[in-house]
Amino acid sequence: MKHQITIFLLVLLIGLTLPSSPVYASTPLAHQQAAITKMTKRDMAPGCGKWSVKITRLNRYPLSVKVGNHPVTKQRSASTIKVFIMLTVFHEIKQHHLKLTQTIKHDLKQMIGISDNAAANRLIRKVGGFKRVTNTARHFGFTHTVLKRFMLGSLKHGDNKTSVDDLTGFLTKTYRHQLLGKHDDNQMLTLLRHCQNHSKLPKLIKHAKIYNKTGEYPMKGVQNDAALIKTKKGVYTIVVMAQGGKQVSQYRSMNRLGRDVVAYLDRH
């Protein structure tokens, strides 16, 4: 009897000294995801229209949150689709179907830096048209991205579309050199670094490197921004797509969201 009691006490003691179940290790992450979801819903004002947001953290503690006020799928891209035109240009060059001439370099800088529509249209023609851009996007796994028209072109055959998933994937894979390789991906990052429009997500973010591409189509109430933000604490992506909304509300919401998400992730 004494022997059985001794064994029971020994088993109990071992049980008490064992590390906690690994299920508790995910709790902080779940709390962070819940906090960011709540923050996003708070910051995205009612006047934003139909919106979708995706937020990720890319460093040692990966995190991903996707939320919207509708089933999150592809939306009107406006000029955010230009990142996939850029990808197609560099892919065609890598495949030796195109040469990186001074004219093409200039058009890439203009298309990404100041969102020049004429430069984008010239590059679409250079790579072989709408289908080439769409097929290149799909080749790299961006299945929601479709180029249907030139910039400022007719909507007769539909509008250009992409999604928060595709834009987040593009930013993530480019940063990690998982698209065309380190050299070409760095060239694309450099172009994004020189995007001059920081009026949306980056506006209230301080002490950070910003790599982004915006998109707007005011006639359809479209305001988009896809940004990769690098601070001393971490690397994050925030992508917002909003359509059918009021421009003032959309801008203010994105300003708040960029500031709040980066501040929160830097603290956690």
Burial of residue 202 (number of CB atoms within 10 Å: 0-12, 13-18, 19+):
buried
pLDDT at 78 > cutoff 70:
yes
pLDDT digits 0-9 by tens, 9-37: 444 444 444 444 333 344 699 999 999 99
The reported pLDDT for the residue numbered 4 is 52
Give the mean pLDDT of the chain: 92
Phi/psi at 210 (nearest 5 deg)?
Answer: -115, 130
124 contacts 147 by C-beta, under 8 angstroms: yes
Q: Would you call 266 helix, strand, or coil by DSSP?
A: helix
DSSP for 110-156, written as a single string: HHHHS--HHHHHHHHHHHTSHHHHHHHHHHTT-TT-B--S-TT---T
CA atoms within 13 A on the CB side of 229: 31
pLDDT digits 0-9 by tens, 26-69: 469 999 999 999 999 999 988 999 999 999 999 889 999 999 99
| Predicted model pTM | 0.89
pLDDT at 171 > cutoff 90:
yes
pLDDT at 238 > cutoff 60:
yes
145 contacts 166 by C-beta, under 8 angstroms: yes
The reported pLDDT for the residue numbered 26 is 47
The reported pLDDT for the residue numbered 27 is 65
pLDDT at 8 > cutoff 60:
no
127 contacts 108 by C-beta, under 8 angstroms: no
**Mean pLDDT along residues 103-125:** 98
Phi/psi at 152 (nearest 5 deg)?
Answer: 65, 15
DSSP 50: E
pLDDT at 211 > cutoff 80:
yes
Which among 140, 162, 257 has a CA at the least distance from the CA of 202? 257
pLDDT at 104 > cutoff 50:
yes
DSSP 203: T
**Mean pLDDT along residues 85-100:** 98
**Mean pLDDT along residues 110-129:** 98
Q: Write down all domains in the chain, each with its CATH number in brackets.
A: 28-267 (3.40.710.10)
- Higher-pLDDT residue of 24, 84: 84
pLDDT at 222 > cutoff 50:
yes
Virtual torsion, Cα 53, 31, 61, 81, nearest 10 deg: 0
pLDDT at 123 > cutoff 50:
yes
Number of other residues whose CB lies within 10 A of the CB of residue 17: 7
**Mean pLDDT along residues 175-184:** 98
The reported pLDDT for the residue numbered 5 is 46
The reported pLDDT for the residue numbered 3 is 53
pLDDT digits 0-9 by tens, 195-209: 999 999 999 999 999
**Confidence bin at 83 (pLDDT 50/70/90):** very high
The one-letter code for the residue type at 80 is T
